[in-house]
């Protein structure tokens, strides 16, 4: 599951939608926003209707309280360029996942408060240079799932891509 922290209406609508799309395509079950934005939810529900899957979007009023409660049943990974390099910590994260079964990945839209760094079990950097939270989430989930998520089939899809070297081939399933 992913927590999008610091979502800013209008300014972040497209980026937050892309965070959802990456989370969905790369293996997350759902995303929680710290601010209610029904437009983002509607867009993702439309993606689910056409492309399948049950990826969900939810909203919380107090993200720090949500994180604290989540930690009662899992652990927290905060993606930040100030953290430990993903290559140095990914195996430990996988081990924790096997033990605890629930992982919350936090991606920020704005500067996150220091409390996020403190409450997180892991502060993970994809690189130590400025980069997109969309890219960070994609790389992290790909490393975590070892590329297996890229061949995942989504239930109830109405359409699917037929891989081809050239051109665009789409098959209607329903």
Q: What is the pTM of this model?
A: 0.92
Give the pLDDT of residue 10: 55
Give the pLDDT of residue 145: 97
Task: Give the integer Cα–Cα distance in Å for 103 and 81.
Answer: 19
Give the pLDDT of residue 4: 82
Residue whose entry in the numeric block shows the structure tokens 């934005």: 37
Among 14, 21, 11, 33, which Cα is nearest to 137's? Answer: 21
Task: Give the integer Cα–Cα distance in Å for 49 and 158.
Answer: 7
Give the pLDDT of residue 11: 58
Give the pLDDT of residue 6: 72
Give the pLDDT of residue 93: 98
Contact 66, 115 (CB under 8 A): no
Task: Give the integer Cα–Cα distance in Å for 31 and 52.
Answer: 16
Give the pLDDT of residue 79: 97
Give the pLDDT of residue 111: 81
The stretches in the chain having pLDDT less than 50 are none
């Amino acid at each position: 599951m992913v927590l999008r922290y610091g979502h800013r209406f209008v300014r972040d609508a497209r980026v937050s939608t892309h965070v959802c799309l990456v989370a969905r395509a790369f293996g997350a079950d759902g995303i929680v926003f710290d601010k209610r934005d029904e437009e983002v939810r509607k867009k993702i529900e439309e993606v689910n209707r056409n492309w399948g899957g049950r990826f969900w979007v939810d909203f919380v009023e107090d993200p720090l309280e949500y994180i604290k409660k989540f930690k009662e049943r899992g652990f927290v990974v905060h993606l930040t360029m100030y953290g430990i390099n993903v290559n140095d910590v990914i195996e430990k994260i996988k081990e924790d996942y096997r033990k605890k079964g629930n992982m919350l990945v936090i991606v920020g839209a704005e500067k996150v408060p220091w409390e996020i760094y403190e409450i997180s079990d892991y502060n993970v950097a994809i690189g130590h240079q400025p980069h997109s939270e969309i890219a960070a989430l994609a790389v992290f989930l790909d490393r975590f799932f070892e590329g297996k998520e890229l061949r995942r089939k989504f239930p109830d899809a109405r359409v699917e891509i037929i891989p081809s070297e050239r051109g665009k081939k789409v098959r209607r399933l329903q």
